[in-house]
Structure 1
Amino acid sequence: MGIVRVSGRRWRLAADGEDGTAQSETAQLTEGETLSFGILADPQLGALKQNKEWTEELDRLRQGIAEIRQQNPAFIIVLGDLVQAFPSNEAERPQRELETKDLREALQSLSGDIPVLIVSGNHDLGNAPTREHLEEFQRDWGNDYYALDLGLCRGVVLNSSLFFNPSNAPEEAEAQFEWLKEQLDEAQAEGKRVLLFMHHAFFWSNWDESEDLGLLRIEPLNLDCPKSHFHIPKPQRDRLRDLIRNSTVSYSFHGHLHDNVVLHGSDPFIEQVVTSAIGYPLGAAPAGFRMVHVTATGEVQHRFVALSEGTSPRYGFARS
């Protein structure tokens, strides 16, 4: 199967012999069955050596795909930051094209018959996405937001860069918000638990946190980065919070932080799950992936799996 280009804002985990389009019959879990899928975050080819080469990131991506396949997943979902070079940097356009080519070949050739779903990140669209960059992503990868049917759960993939900074594409950002509201209303009416998938996390510690959270020291890059770069700004976060408060959302899965963090938000309750980068881990957690299991009754379990010995170095991440 390989990379899935989602269209029509919906992908269904199809019954055997179907193609996963919005028209095909959704595969249903029977009593005692569990649907399992793998999460990869931030392959970000080119990050380690600033677009000069990306052998290490590519090796870890290949290793991650191989180890996920051993778990017999129904699909793999990649939570954004596919490559390092930004779309707005014309000087790096040749590197971006090569990084994308290598990433696509790895995902396509190594996944076998397992579908691979793509989520957009800030390196894929820019920190303030433009309409042109949204269109480029859609041409390359398909819809930037869409729904997944997962038995008694509904997955909702979101373009979190439009929440982070909608200033260059306000109409597209508003369209996504209205679509999200429709998805949450439908899931609630159907009695389905909702799992969100998006690159940026909602918060560092809680829904109410401010924008001024200080700096994050990224030792390998000799860089101090505002912590606010790693969460949704409060005005947009509050608006999303109001939606989620009146919904059946219970889990959200993220990348972006390059670390492995699970937090519980209250009012509304949500389990926010951030998975360490497969390409360039920066925290206490090594490179790895996450396995998620959804039962026939809609219960959700997940666990982080570090890559096998020798393939998952830690690079160092200082929290302040």
Structure 2
Amino acid sequence: MSRLFVYLVVAIFCITKTLAQSESFYFIQLSDPQFGMLEKNKSFSQETMIMEKVIAAINNLNPAFVVITGDMVNDGKDQKQIDEFKRVCKLIKKSIPVYVLPGNHDLSQQCTDESISNYMDEYGYDCFSFQVNNSCFIGLNTPVIFANREEKEKSQLIWLEKILENSQKCNHRILFGHYPFFVKESNEANRYENIPLEKRKTYLDLMSKYRVSNMFAGHLHYNAMSSYEDFNITITNSICTPLGKDRIGIRIIKVYPDKVVHDYYDLEQIPSDVVL
């Protein structure tokens, strides 16, 4: 896949690809642009302005790829919001692959059949896997886990374990999703911000079994970090609508053969280049 909206659909509407890249590389994560949120669905002009600045920085940095971890729009039924998000993302250079994942605002809290179908019509896939220089990157549809859409969630889980099984020789296995599995503690109570405990344990066991090193998520609209054994969860602030102390920005993740390091940069501090 070389662009954002490629309609490559396999099995459970996931995409799988291998990208060539030099030994060490970096990529960019941004989350929750949520077009329409700032002005309560009356306008998305502010989100457009912010995203155009971010995209100019992305094009200058020329990362290996970009991942947007959900909530592309505030109202998943608002076609104008969706169209504007897609228009703006097409400003990213064609040489930079862009991967998106659904958030609860894209699919609704209940993840109805209709909302999933509409999402697929717009974006063509709802999970992905690909490799760059012997590192495996996997994106999940976490809203279907949160909403306990059993059939969809089960098929995705089977797919995930197969990808993990086949990637054991990779240097790193890195996961993306809108919802983090948990925010502070692996056994914390169920709430709006996390994946329910009954599902959470299944996924955390998989992360341990296959030595997944990192998960990059969004949803909270502020930065946070937590861990479970050797599995690190990093939650990235909203690119447009922060709800915490952090200013809007992006995360730059550097991938080396033996480690993964990352830093958050607010919009006014995004570097002009990245030193590996």
TM-score by length of 1: 0.78
SS of residue paired to 1:52: coil
Residue of 125, 128, 144 corresponding to 1:162: 144
The aligned counterpart of 2:238 is 277
Structure 1 distance, partners of 2:5, 2:214, is 23
The aligned counterpart of 1:235 is 198
Q: Is 2:83 the partner of 1:101?
A: yes
Q: Is 2:219 the partner of 1:256?
A: yes
Number of aligned residues: 264
Structure 1 distance, partners of 2:216, 2:117, is 24
Q: Deviations over 1:31-68 (max 9, x none)?
A: xx322111110010011111001111111111111112
Structure 1 distance, partners of 2:16, 2:162, is 16
Alpha-carbon distance, 1:191 to partner: 4.1
Q: Is 2:4 the partner of 1:3?
A: yes
- The question of whether the paired residues in 2 share the 8 Å contact of 1:58 and 1:279 is answered with no
Residue of 186, 200, 210 corresponding to 1:247: 210
Q: Is 2:134 the partner of 1:152?
A: yes
Residue of 189, 195, 208 corresponding to 2:174: 195
Structure 2 distance, partners of 1:113, 1:151, is 17
Q: Is 2:72 the partner of 1:82?
A: yes
The percentage of counterpart residues that share the same residue type is 28
Query: What is the root-mean-square deviation in Å for CA atoms of aligned residues?
Result: 1.7
Q: Is 2:270 the partner of 1:265?
A: no
- The question of whether the paired residues in 2 share the 8 Å contact of 1:79 and 1:254 is answered with yes
Structure 1 distance, partners of 2:5, 2:79, is 19
Alignment of 1:107-122 (within 5 A): 107-122=89-104
Q: Rg bigger for which structure?
A: 1
Q: Deviations over 1:141-170 (max 9, x none)?
A: 12111211122211110000011112xx32
Structure 2 distance, partners of 1:153, 1:128, is 33
- The question of whether the paired residues in 2 share the 8 Å contact of 1:197 and 1:253 is answered with yes
The aligned counterpart of 1:215 is none
- The question of whether the paired residues in 1 share the 8 Å contact of 2:76 and 2:82 is answered with no
Instruction: Give the letter for the 1:302 counterpart.
Output: H
Residue of 131, 146, 156 corresponding to 2:113: 131
SS of residue paired to 1:155: strand
Instruction: Give the letter for the 1:98 counterpart.
Output: K
- The question of whether the paired residues in 1 share the 8 Å contact of 2:37 and 2:241 is answered with yes
5+ residue gaps in structure 1?
A: 15-26, 88-95, 212-227, 310-320
Structure 1 distance, partners of 2:133, 2:167, is 12
Q: Deviations over 1:193-238 (max 9, x none)?
A: 2100000011121111122xxxxxxxxxxxxxxxx11111111111
TM-score by length of 2: 0.90
SS of residue paired to 2:52: helix
The aligned counterpart of 2:274 is none
The aligned counterpart of 2:17 is 12
Q: Is 2:62 the partner of 1:61?
A: no
5+ residue gaps in structure 2?
A: 270-276
Alpha-carbon distance, 1:131 to partner: 2.2
- The question of whether the paired residues in 1 share the 8 Å contact of 2:130 and 2:137 is answered with yes
